Structure 1
Amino acid sequence: MPDVLFPLDSSKKFEDQEKVGHNRWHPEIPPVATVKPGESFRVDCREWFDGAIVNDDSADDILNAPLLTVHKLSGPFRIEGAKPGDLLIVDILDVGPIPQEDSGPLAGQGWGYTGIFARNNGGGFLTEQFPDAYKAIWDFTGQVATSRHVPNVSFAGLIHPGLMGTAPSAELLAKWNKREGDLIATDPNRVPPLALPPEPREAVLGSLAASDYDRVAGEAARTAPPRENGGNQDIKNLSKGSRVFYPVFVDGANLSLGDLHFSQGDGEITFCGAIEMGGFIDLHVDVIPGGMETYGVHENAIFVPGTVDPRFSEWIAFSGTSVTLDGEQRYLDSHLSYQRACLHAIDYLTKFGYAPEQAYLLLGAAPIEGRLSGVVDIPNSCSTVYIPTAIFDFDVRPSASGPFQVDPGMGAPHASNR
């Protein structure tokens, strides 16, 4: 096993650990360790809410989820010799739930969760149709996930970090804050907001000196969106065996990561749409000097996907076009067309006895494939969502005999935000 450079004690909160990570992006957050190019190491990761979401049959914890505290990231890790303009190579050697802990109070100890967030506390991809908070607990048996809240399905997890990236330079951070602030200003009272500005409350900045805390906390960027440094990309295929190439913006690169997922559908459509968990990840790092210019990788990460994807041979697929539910035509709006494809899939699954919220949670957690299927035929973009049929323990395809009726069980716990 590689050396554990960022250990986490499951009995302690994130901020009470021997080494403290962070939950904001800023170039001045001090590294927790230095790694040489060519070295491998292990990192423990806490799920993004640090234990605020529990294994029960209530969604009140999702309704009141402390969004100001996320994401709880492990790092930063300084890579010796890395300079701005380089490319940082990150190989994911292994990733999994909390080792040797198959039961316990923390997500990753034999279980994980998926949440639909309330419109007034985060929202989600389909927040107009699903404005209230719901939750599903998933139990892990080896690589397979099942849920008492979404019965009659099981699937192998494609475990991956939802968030990994390098630190921004001061100039890049200022660019982020300017452009996102300009967007917020176009509709400052929108719910959910158009973007998340710097927020000093609940900021965790590692071992930063107390004298610098207020200034840095007021400048540091939230970790919610993906950006030029990678960040919260939520790409399910960044799994074991992946190789990622990150732009380097500061001396040492300052790599951070977290937000581990046991499984996820493309898009993480419920916002907390993956099966969230804590766990470990083993990494190997190297550097390509001057690689940003050599390969034209200035404002994006590129990656080679891993090779451990669950293998499915049969799918049922749903399409959507860029027309609103009210019949308004939009021009090549792929975001809207993917929403419509997902809504069509949800409507279909309700014919088998699932509540709409159960179907929505399933699309967030299961390894569905989302695709841009047509982006050139004006005025309608076409998006598709593919659901592997093997995850159901019944035949989910249409037939003359009509849809099989599942017993929805207790259903997904619900907490109204009204």
Structure 2
Amino acid sequence: MPELLFPLDSAKKFTDQAIVGHNRWHPDIPAAVTVKPGDSFRVHCREWFDGAIHNDDSADDILNAPLTTVHTLSGPFAVEGAKPGDLLIVDILDIGPIPQEDSGPLAGQGWGYTGIFPRNNGGGFLTEQFPDAYKAVWDFSGQTATSRHIPHVSFTGIVHPGLMGTAPSAALLAKWNAREGALIATDPNRVPPLALPPEPRDAVLGTLTGDEYTRVAGEAARTAPPRENGGNQDIKNLTKGSRIFYPVFVDGANLSVGDLHFSQGDGEITFCGAIEMGGFIDLRVDIIKGGMDTYGVSENAIFMPGNTDPQYSEWLAFSGTSVTLDGEQKYLDSHLSYQRACLHAIEYLTKFGYAPEQAYLLLGAAPIEGRLSGVVDIPNSCSTVYLPTAIFDFPLAPSSSGPFQIDPGIGAPRSENKV
């Protein structure tokens, strides 16, 4: 096992650990650990809400999830010799739930969760159709996930980090804040908001204190979106065996990682659409000097996915086009066409006995494939959602005998409270 450089005690909060991580992006957050090119090391990661979501049959915790506290990131890890303009090579050697603990109060201890966030607290990809808070808890058995809230489904997890990236430079941070602030200004009262501006409340900034903490907390970027540094990309194929190349913007690169997922469908469509968990990740790092200019990788990460994904050979695919639910034609809107494909899949699954919310949660957590199938045939973009049929314990394809009727069980808990 690689040396554990960032330990987390499951009995303590994220801010009470021996080494404290962070939940914002800023170049002046000090490195927590320094490593050398070629080093391999283990990192513990806390589930993104630090234990605020519980293994129960209530969705009140999703309704009131403390969004200002996320993401709980492990790091930063400074890499000796890394300079702006380099590429940081990150190999994912291994990854899994919280080790040596198979039950307990934290997601990752034998269980994880998926949530539909309410419109007034984050929302999601289909927030207009699903404005309320719901939750599904998943149990882990080895590599397999099942849920009492979405019965008749079982699948192999595609375990991956939802979030990993390097620190921004001061100039890049200022660019983020300016462009996202300009977007917010176009509709400042929108619910959910168009973007998340810097928020000093609940900022965790490693070892910073006093005036320096106050300054950085007021400038630091939220970790919710993906950006030039990688960040919260939620790419389900960043599995064991993946190699990622990150741009370096500050001395040492200052790599951070967190938001581990047991499984996820393309798009993580409910916002908390993956199966969230805490756990461990083993990494190896190296540097390509001057790699950003050499390879033209200046504002994006590139990666070589691992080869440990579950292999499915049979799918049922649903298509969607860029026409709104009320019939308005949009021009090559692939975001809209993917929404429509997801809604078509959800409607189909309800014919077998699932509630719409169960189907929505399933599309976020299960290893679905989302594809841009046509982006040039004006005016309609075409997107598709591929559902692996093997994850269901009943026949999913249409037949002359009609849809098999399942027992939907207790269903997905819904919060009856208001934000």
TM-score (structure 2 length as normaliser):
0.99
Instruction: Determine the C-alpha separation between the residues in 2 that align with 1:396 and 1:173.
Output: 47
Q: Deviations over 1:155-187 (max 9, x none)?
A: 000100000000000000000000000000000
Instruction: Determine the C-alpha separation between the residues in 1 that align with 2:317 and 2:416.
Output: 31
Q: Secondary structure at the match of 1:120?
A: helix
Q: Secondary structure at the match of 1:126?
A: coil
Q: Deviations over 1:82-116 (max 9, x none)?
A: 00000000000000000011100000000000000
Instruction: Determine the C-alpha separation between the residues in 1 that align with 2:370 and 2:101.
Output: 33
- Pairing of 1:193-342 with structure 2 (within 5 A): 193-342=193-342
Instruction: Determine the C-alpha separation between the residues in 2 that align with 1:417 and 1:226.
Output: 31
Match of 1:152 in 2: 152
Match of 2:20 in 1: 20
- Percent identical residues: 85
Q: Secondary structure at the match of 2:119?
A: coil
Query: Partner letter of residue 242 of structure 1?
Result: S
Match of 2:406 in 1: 406
Match of 1:390 in 2: 390
Q: Secondary structure at the match of 1:320?
A: strand
Q: Secondary structure at the match of 1:208?
A: coil
Instruction: Determine the C-alpha separation between the residues in 2 that align with 1:344 and 1:34.
Output: 49
2:115 pairs with 1:115? yes
Query: Partner letter of residue 180 of structure 2?
Result: E
Instruction: Determine the C-alpha separation between the residues in 2 that align with 1:224 and 1:32.
Output: 21
Unaligned runs of 5+ in 2: none
Residue 119 to residue 417, structure 1, CA distance change in 2 (3 Å) = farther
Q: Secondary structure at the match of 1:275?
A: strand
Is contact 1:263–1:365 with CA below 8 Å preserved after alignment?
yes
Shift of 1:260: 0.1
Query: Partner letter of residue 157 of structure 1?
Result: G
Q: Secondary structure at the match of 2:120?
A: coil
Unaligned runs of 5+ in 1: none
Q: Secondary structure at the match of 2:91?
A: strand
Q: Deviations over 1:396-417 (max 9, x none)?
A: 0000000000100100000146
Shift of 1:209: 3.2
Is contact 2:184–2:193 with CA below 8 Å preserved after alignment?
yes
Q: Deviations over 1:358-404 (max 9, x none)?
A: 00000000000000000000000000000000000000000000000
Q: Deviations over 1:1-29 (max 9, x none)?
A: 11111000000000000000000000000
Residue 417 to residue 178, structure 1, CA distance change in 2 (3 Å) = farther
Residue 417 to residue 183, structure 1, CA distance change in 2 (3 Å) = farther
Match of 1:353 in 2: 353
Residue 393 to residue 232, structure 1, CA distance change in 2 (3 Å) = same
Instruction: Determine the C-alpha separation between the residues in 2 that align with 1:70 and 1:49.
Output: 6
Q: Secondary structure at the match of 1:414?
A: coil
Query: Partner letter of residue 287 of structure 1?
Result: I
Q: Secondary structure at the match of 1:415?
A: coil
Q: Secondary structure at the match of 2:121?
A: coil
Q: Deviations over 1:287-323 (max 9, x none)?
A: 0000000000000000000000101000000000000
Is contact 2:60–2:417 with CA below 8 Å preserved after alignment?
no
Instruction: Determine the C-alpha separation between the residues in 2 that align with 1:312 and 1:100.
Output: 30
Instruction: Determine the C-alpha separation between the residues in 2 that align with 1:320 and 1:247.
Output: 35
Instruction: Determine the C-alpha separation between the residues in 2 that align with 1:284 and 1:246.
Output: 13
Instruction: Determine the C-alpha separation between the residues in 2 that align with 1:125 and 1:148.
Output: 24
Match of 1:4 in 2: 4
Instruction: Determine the C-alpha separation between the residues in 2 that align with 1:378 and 1:230.
Output: 32
Instruction: Determine the C-alpha separation between the residues in 1 that align with 2:11 and 2:92.
Output: 27
Instruction: Determine the C-alpha separation between the residues in 2 that align with 1:100 and 1:310.
Output: 24
Is contact 2:323–2:330 with CA below 8 Å preserved after alignment?
yes
Instruction: Determine the C-alpha separation between the residues in 2 that align with 1:208 and 1:41.
Output: 24
Match of 2:93 in 1: 93
Instruction: Determine the C-alpha separation between the residues in 1 that align with 2:27 and 2:91.
Output: 23
| RMSD, aligned α-carbons | 0.5
Is contact 1:118–1:417 with CA below 8 Å preserved after alignment?
no
Match of 1:49 in 2: 49
Shift of 1:208: 1.3
Query: Partner letter of residue 239 of structure 2?
Result: S
Q: Secondary structure at the match of 2:318?
A: strand
Instruction: Determine the C-alpha separation between the residues in 2 that align with 1:76 and 1:34.
Output: 9
Instruction: Determine the C-alpha separation between the residues in 2 that align with 1:209 and 1:270.
Output: 36
Aligned positions, number: 418
